[in-house]
A = this chain, B = another copy of it.
Amino acid sequence: MNRLSLNQKTTNSWAVEQAIDGCVRAGLESIGLWREPVHEAGVAKTAALIADAGLRVSSLCRGGFITVPEGEARRRAMDDNRRAIDEAAELGTRYLVMVVGGLPAAGGASTPVLPGQRAAAGSASPAATTGGGPDAPVERDRDLPAARQRVADGIAELVPYAMERGIQLALEPMHPIYCADRGVLSTLGQALDIAEQHPAEAVGVVVDTFHVWWDPDIERQIARAAGRISSFQVCDWITPLPADSLLARGMMGDGHIDFRYFRQLVEKAGYDGDIEVEIFNADIWAADPDDVVAWMKRRYAEYVAGPES
């Protein structure tokens, strides 16, 4: 239980101060933070609250969104990533989670706004469209290999800055359901292909069960990730998939993922860090956050931390 970390998105209605207090009340030692609520409280104030509470920050979400072609929007995105690196350092975590972005036309140049998250000043809401009917096909950037190359280029540009500040860029492969509009890194193997171009202290990977559970090559890739696993995150794949695919994650035990199997794989690869629970789900967000934390602890004990499967 001392490795269990509450990613604050799981208790989305809580502000940072409330999430920190909630962790302390629940006896948790670690928390995963998101930049937007941290900005609302202030980075320095959040860092002070974390220190007072004696918590670890298991990761900061999120940098990334670097698939746009060279130009002003890309320069803005790179500047924002450097700010995110600074914030991670100030908050006392080593790990900045990178959600790399989708195809440019699908997500727009700006950081997409998640459900339940207020738009940051200056950022546009997602520009995704459903297409235009018989006579209005949508012209857009469909060059997926090029978008992926721009991710590799962007990471290479950020590495020196991250290394100077002791931050590991944690590349998060995302479920292929999000390839078009959120993350063109679709497999752990693909994330490692980029990470391995850099020192391990500079670029790591996130193993999030929701994103990678289906991958037939996952055993081999988790073994390959030894020494580069920045974060291990858990939440479940539930069926039928909820209507809003961004809120499709379930509490451990409600879905189809064998969490002990994945915990054993990352441990065999040498990972002994925090295990973050990050759940985007409208029903869970509508529940009382203290109840959600208690529920999460029970399910973690039963499905993740329990005896060998």
Knowing A128-B240, A239-B106, A245-B241 are in contact, say whether A179-B258 is a contact too (CB < 8 A): no
Knowing A106-B256, A137-B254, A254-B137 are in contact, say whether A216-B240 is a contact too (CB < 8 A): no
A234 vs chain B, min Cβ distance (A): 13
Knowing A106-B256, A245-B245 are in contact, say whether A216-B187 is a contact too (CB < 8 A): yes
A103 on the B face (CB < 8 A): yes
A242 / chain B contacts, CB cutoff of 8 Å: 130
Are A239 and B177 in touch, CB under 8 angstroms? no
Are B189 and A131 in touch, CB under 8 angstroms? no
Contact with B along A73-106 (1 / 0, CB 8 A): 0000000000000000000000000000001011
Residue of B138, B190, B302 touching A137 (CB-CB under 8 A): B302
Q: Bound complex: CA of A255 vs CA of B137, how far in Å?
A: 8
Contact with B along A242-283 (1 / 0, CB 8 A): 111100001101111110000000000000000000000000
Are B179 and A214 in touch, CB under 8 angstroms? yes
Are A216 and B190 in touch, CB under 8 angstroms? yes
Looking at A35-43, A45-53, A62-70, A142-150, the stretch in contact with chain B turns out to be A142-150
A213 on the B face (CB < 8 A): yes
Total copies of the chain? 2
Are B255 and A131 in touch, CB under 8 angstroms? yes
Closest to A255 in B: B131
Are B189 and A216 in touch, CB under 8 angstroms? yes
A220 vs chain B, min Cβ distance (A): 12
Q: Bound complex: CA of A291 vs CA of B135, how far in Å?
A: 12
A175 on the B face (CB < 8 A): yes
A137-B303, A180-B239 are known; give 6 further A-B pairs, CB within 8 A. Answer: A128-B239, A137-B299, A143-B258, A144-B214, A176-B176, A180-B256
